[in-house]
Amino acid sequence: MHNLPDLSPVIDDLRERRLAANAGATVVSVSGIDASGKGYVAAQLLAGLRAAGLRTMLLGIDEWLTPLNRRIQSDDPAHSFYRHAIRFDELFDGLIEPLRRGGGADLRATLWGPHGVPVVREFHPRRIEVVLVEGIFLLRRDLLARVDRRIWIDCSWRTALERALRRNQECLPPASIAHDYRTIYFPAQVHHFRLDEPRAHADTLLVNDPRLRHTQCAPADSTSPLPWA
C-alpha cells in the first residue's frame, strides 16, 4: 500500500495554480473505492503541500456520514448508501465553498461519523490555500464543478477487500465486514461507476495496488469482476 507513484507532479501543479490563484483556496478531491488508500494518499499530499509552503487543510468525508438508519435502508442498502451516506450539501455549502471563495470559514456542525455517535465540531480555518477533501463518491457528477482538481485512486476490488478486513476500522467480525462490503459498499461503488464514470472525470489517476502494477487484475470499475464473483 505504501508504494505510491511520485506525488511531486501533483504538488508542483498545485504550487503553480496557487501563483495564479485569487484569495480563495484551491479544492482538491481525493477519491476511490472503499479501502483503496484514499486517506493514506491524502496524508502524503498534506505533508508534501505543507512542506512546499502551502497552507493546507485536510477534510475527511467519513466525519460527514449521515446517521446509520438514513445511510443504509433495508429495501436497497447499496443504492441508499450511494444516495444518502454523505452530507455533501452541508459540507460544501457550510465549509468548502466559503474556503474556496475566501480562504476561511466559520461552521458549527453536529457530526455523526462512522460509528453513529454525534459530536459537535467547530471549524474556523483562516488563510487556507489548499483544501484536500478525501473520501468516497467525491467524483459524483453534481460535485465535479465544486472542486478544482480531482484525483482518483486506482485499486482492485480484491485488494480493497483484503485491506478492509485487515484494518477492521468498523471493529466487527471479519465475516460481518466481508458481508457489508459485498452487499453494501462495493455495490454502491458500482452505482457510482455506472452513473458518474469517476475515473473518466479524474485529472490524475494514482495506482495504489501491487496487483495492478503487475497487471494481475483490472482496476475496480463497473465491469471488472467483484472479489466474490
Report the pLDDT value the prediction gives residue 2, as an integer from 0 to 100: 53
Tell whether 151 is covered by a domain. Answer: yes
Indicate whether 176 belongs to any domain: yes
Q: Residue 121: inside a domain, yes or no?
A: no
Does residue 98 belong to any structural domain of this protein? no
Per the domain annotation, does 106 fall within a domain?
A: no
Tell me, letter by letter, the H, E, C secondary structure of 97-144.
Answer: HHHHHHCCCCEEEEECCCCCCCEEEEECCCCCCEEEEECCCCCCHHHH
User: What's the total number of domains in the chain?
Assistant: 1
Residue with the three cell numbers 507532479? 9
Instruction: Please report, for the domain that includes residue 139, its CATH number.
Output: 3.40.50.300
Is 149:26 a contact under the CB 8 Å cutoff? yes
Residues of the chain below pLDDT 50: 1, 229
* 170 in any annotated domain: yes
| Spatial distance between the Cα atoms of 35 and 168, rounded to a whole number of angstroms | 10
Domain with 151 in it: 8-63+127-213
Q: Does the residue 80 lie in any domain?
A: no
Beta-carbon contacts of residue 22 (< 8 Å; ≥ 6 apart): none
The predicted model scores a pTM of 0.93
Cα dihedral 84, 156, 2, 26, rounded to 10, equals: -40
pLDDT at residue 1 in the model = 46
Which residues of the chain form beta strands (DSSP E)? Answer: 26-32, 56-60, 107-111, 119-123, 130-134, 149-154, 204-207
Three cell numbers, residue 202: 479524474
36 inside domain: yes
